[in-house]
Amino acid sequence: DGYFYHMMKQCRFSSKDLQGIEFIDSYVFNQAEYIRFNSTVGKFVGYTEHGVNNAEAWNSDAGILAQERGELERVCKQHAPIHYSA
């Protein structure tokens, strides 16, 4: 019993071309995703009232958006050769 909070960052590889990589950063509370950053969309999207409020705040902060957008290069594209070799 209690509350469940989970944050998941993932890289989705749809092809061996580095342009086909997508970075997803999801925030979940009590098994319901309430906000997500998607590198294809380029911003946060809220799925609940709390998530929409957070998305508006985070999307208006250029530093937060730059950090999230940079994760595609720093994490996903750096590790793509390891993913493709497996």
In the DSSP assignment, the letter for residue 18 is G
Q: Say what the pLDDT of residue 86 is.
A: 65
Q: List residues bridging with 35 in a β-sheet.
A: 27, 46
Q: Say what the pLDDT of residue 48 is.
A: 96
Q: Say what the pLDDT of residue 42 is.
A: 95
Q: Which domains does the chain have, with CATH numbers?
A: 5-85 (3.10.320.10)
Q: In what order do the strands lie in the sheet with 21-29?
A: 5-13, 21-29, 32-38, 43-46
Question: Half-sphere exposure of residue 26, counting CA atoms within 13 Å on the CB side?
Answer: 13
Give the distance between the most distant pair of CA atoms in the chain: 44
| Per-residue pLDDT reduced to its tens digit, 2-55 | 789 999 999 988 776 677 889 999 999 999 999 999 999 999 999 999 999 999
First to last CA, the chain: 39
**Confidence bin at 82 (pLDDT 50/70/90):** confident
